[in-house]
């Protein structure tokens, strides 16, 4: 790994007596709405992930909560003592690299090795593009906007680049790839490298569910040709509020991904504020419902002992 930072923030686990959502084994779309209680759907067939694990957070629709999901799950996992690497596979300027203050600290003149170099230079090793973050246990593979070259130029080995580097890495327990809003070569490379896909969907947007067809076809193609063990581990209903449409969308996701956890991530204006302040929500608004939801989701997905 590259140079170390002295100041490390220790992220603590949450207390078990907080108001977490209950676990349900079926998503209830039948009972009268006023009796419906929001829960986290964990199908009876669901198996928690083993370690080390590579997880791709994908949806080609923009602004559905991919980066929020990737970052907050990572924060929850490090709070439970796991070592996590976030790979910033999004070429947009407002990416997780910015949220994690990486790009602010890097002066343009001392541009550092980054994810793009892994794709364009076969000699570059994962350790050379992995940087410590201010948070104990969290490593970042950052990117700059010219990561877009991967989709545009498709350098030799693009499809298998992430798989090659991530599958054999044992310096972390979980790698989380934050994909951009596209189904281009970078996202396909992430899906080929991944054990699990997590799909964030806007909790109140019927359009997101309709748009899921293209993503599902891409996942099916990758499963068919390159990564038969890839599974959809979870769909996250982001910006979630208890409503008829949110209940319906949860039901559609449960049908579309019968083995997956359906995790509501309750709405919170503090997320935008946390992003502006370049702080993880978990530290910016520790008691917020969204933090509890991601914490419980992380415990379920990675078998860390479910909170009551």
Question: CB of 68: closest distance to ligand ATP in angstroms?
Answer: 3
Residues 259 to 288: which contact ligand ATP by CB under 6 A? 265, 267-268, 271-272, 275
- Residue 83 within binding range of ligand ATP, rule CB under 6 A: no
Site string for Mg ion, 67-86 (x = CB under 5 A): x-------------------
Quick one: 66 or 231, whose CB is closer to ligand ATP? 66
User: Which one of 53, 66, 83, 299 is in contact with Mg ion (CB under 5 A)?
Assistant: 66
Quick one: 145 or 272, whose CB is closer to ligand ATP? 272
Site string for Mg ion, 11-50 (x = CB under 5 A): ----------------------------------------
Using CB under 6 A, count the residues that bind ligand ATP: 20
Residue 208 binds: one of Mg ion, ligand ATP, none (C-beta under 5 to 8 A by kind) = none
Question: CB of 50: closest distance to Mg ion in angstroms?
Answer: 27
Full 3-state SS string of the chain: CCCCCCCCECCCCCCCCCCCCEEECCCCCCCCHHHCCCEEECCCCCCCCCCCEEEEECCCCCCCCHHHHHHHHHHHHHHCCCCEEEEEECCCCCCHHHHCCHHHHCCHHHCCCCHHHHHHCCCCCHHHHCEECCECCEEEECCCHHHHHHHHHCCCCHHHHHHHHHCCCCCCCEEEEEECCCCCHHHHHHHHHCCEEEEEEECCCHHHHHCHHHHHHHHHHHHHHCCCCCEEEEEEEEEECCCHHHHHHHHHHHHHCCCCEEEEEECCCHHHHHHHCCCCHHHHCCCCHHHHHHHHHHHHHCCCCCCC
Residues 140 to 199: which contact ligand ATP by CB under 6 A? 180-181
- Residue 238 within binding range of ligand ATP, rule CB under 6 A: yes
Residues 192 to 211: which contact Mg ion by CB under 5 A? none
The distance from CA 137 to its chain's CA centroid, rounded to whole angstroms, is 16
- Residue 61 within binding range of Mg ion, rule CB under 5 A: no
Quick one: 66 or 247, whose CB is closer to Mg ion? 66
Which parts of this chain interact with ligand ATP (CB under 6 A)? 62-68, 90, 92, 180-181, 238-239, 265, 267-268, 271-272, 275, 290
């Amino acid at each position: 790994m590259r140079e170390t930072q002295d100041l490390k923030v220790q992220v603590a686990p949450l207390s078990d007596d907080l108001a977490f959502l209950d676990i349900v084994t079926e998503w209830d779309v039948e009972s009268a709405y006023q009796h419906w209680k929001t829960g986290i759907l964990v199908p009876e067939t669901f198996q928690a992930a083993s370690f080390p694990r590579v997880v791709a957070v994908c949806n080609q629709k923009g602004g559905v909560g991919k980066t929020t999901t990737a970052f907050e799950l990572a924060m929850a996992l490090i709070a439970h003592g796991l070592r996590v690497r976030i790979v910033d596979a999004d070429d947009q300027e407002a990416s997780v690299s910015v949220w994690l203050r990486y790009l602010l600290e890097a002066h343009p003149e001392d541009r550092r090795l980054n994810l793009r170099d892994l794709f364009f230079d076969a000699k570059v090793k994962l350790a050379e593009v992995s940087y410590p973050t201010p948070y104990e246990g969290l490593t970042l593979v950052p990117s700059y906007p010219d990561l877009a070259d991967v989709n545009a130029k498709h350098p030799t080995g693009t499809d298998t680049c992430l798989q090659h580097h991530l599958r054999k890495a044992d310096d972390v327990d979980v790698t989380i790839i934050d994909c951009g809003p596209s189904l281009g070569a970078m996202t396909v490379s992430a899906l080929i490298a991944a054990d699990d896909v997590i799909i964030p969907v806007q909790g109140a947007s019927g359009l997101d569910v309709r748009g899921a067809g293209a993503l599902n076809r891409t996942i099916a193609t990758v499963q068919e040709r390159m990564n038969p063990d890839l599974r959809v581990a979870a769909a996250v209903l982001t910006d979630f509020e208890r409503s008829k449409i949110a209940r319906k969308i949860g039901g559609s996701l449960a049908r579309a991904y019968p083995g997956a956890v359906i995790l509501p991530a309750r709405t919170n204006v503090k997320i935008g504020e946390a992003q502006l302040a370049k702080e993880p929500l978990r530290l910016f608004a520790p008691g917020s419902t969204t933090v509890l939801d991601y914490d419980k989701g992380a415990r379920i997905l990675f078998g860390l002992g479910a909170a009551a």
